[in-house]
Structure 1
Amino acid sequence: MANQQKSTWKPGKRDMLFLGVVAAVVLVLVLGSGERKTNPVPNDEVHQGASTMAECMGCHGNEGVRPQPKGHIQGGQCFQCHLQPEGWRGAAR
């Protein structure tokens, strides 16, 4: 028993691949948990009163005063992404 040496662990290719995948997942989670990048709803009388999709699309539809940009999601839930103005009186989220 006196001649036995302790074997040391040496990471192999599979270990390095696993650690790389874990690092990539952690990086994606950290980068994806940042603050919202969308524009908040302006804090004016028109926007404070808007509480339905129809009211938003009156101005932001294709024929509106300020249509949504090309490629904008058409989900119909404006306040999923855009923050309501402070003191907003519309419907609750």
Structure 2
Amino acid sequence: MANQQKNAWKPGKRDMLFLGVVAAVVLTLVLGSGERKTTPVPSDSTHRTSSSKAQCLTCHGQEGVRPQPKGHIQSGQCFQCHLQPDGWSGAAPK
């Protein structure tokens, strides 16, 4: 037994495929974890005092002056994605 040589590991096609999938997942997570790119909230008197979804939907609801675009997420927290404007005086987000 002492005279037997250990065989070196040689990666096969399945090993390379597995490593490729792992690299693709890691790359997707790294590139997808950047800063969110959403439409900024305007810094005007109306937006500086809005602090609830109901206030946002008075203009951005389906019947509002500027409705949300198709496919917009239906979240109850507008400021989870959109940054508050400079000088914002609304309630602190929860």
Within 2, Cα distance between the matches of 1:21 and 1:87? 46
- Tell me the equivalent position of 2:87: 87
Aligned residue type for 1:49: T
Aligned residue type for 2:44: D
Within 2, Cα distance between the matches of 1:54 and 1:7? 69
Report which stretch shifted further, 31-40 or 44-53: 31-40
Identity of aligned residues (%): 78
Within 2, Cα distance between the matches of 1:33 and 1:76? 22
Does residue 42 in structure 1 map to residue 42 in structure 2? Answer: yes
1:79 deviation in Å?
0.8
SS of structure 2 residue aligned to 1:74: coil
Structure 2: runs of 5+ lacking an equivalent: none
- Tell me the equivalent position of 2:28: 28
- Tell me the equivalent position of 2:63: 63
Within 2, Cα distance between the matches of 1:76 and 1:8? 57
Aligned residue type for 1:68: Q
Within 2, Cα distance between the matches of 1:63 and 1:33? 34
- Tell me the equivalent position of 1:76: 76
1:29 deviation in Å?
0.9
Within 1, Cα distance between the matches of 2:56 and 2:71? 17
1:74 deviation in Å?
1.4
Structure 1: runs of 5+ lacking an equivalent: none
1:73 deviation in Å?
1.3
Counting matched residue pairs gives 92
Pairwise CA RMSD = 1.8
**CA deviations over 1:44-72 (Å, ceiling 9, x no partner):** 11000000111100000111111111121
Aligned residue type for 1:83: L
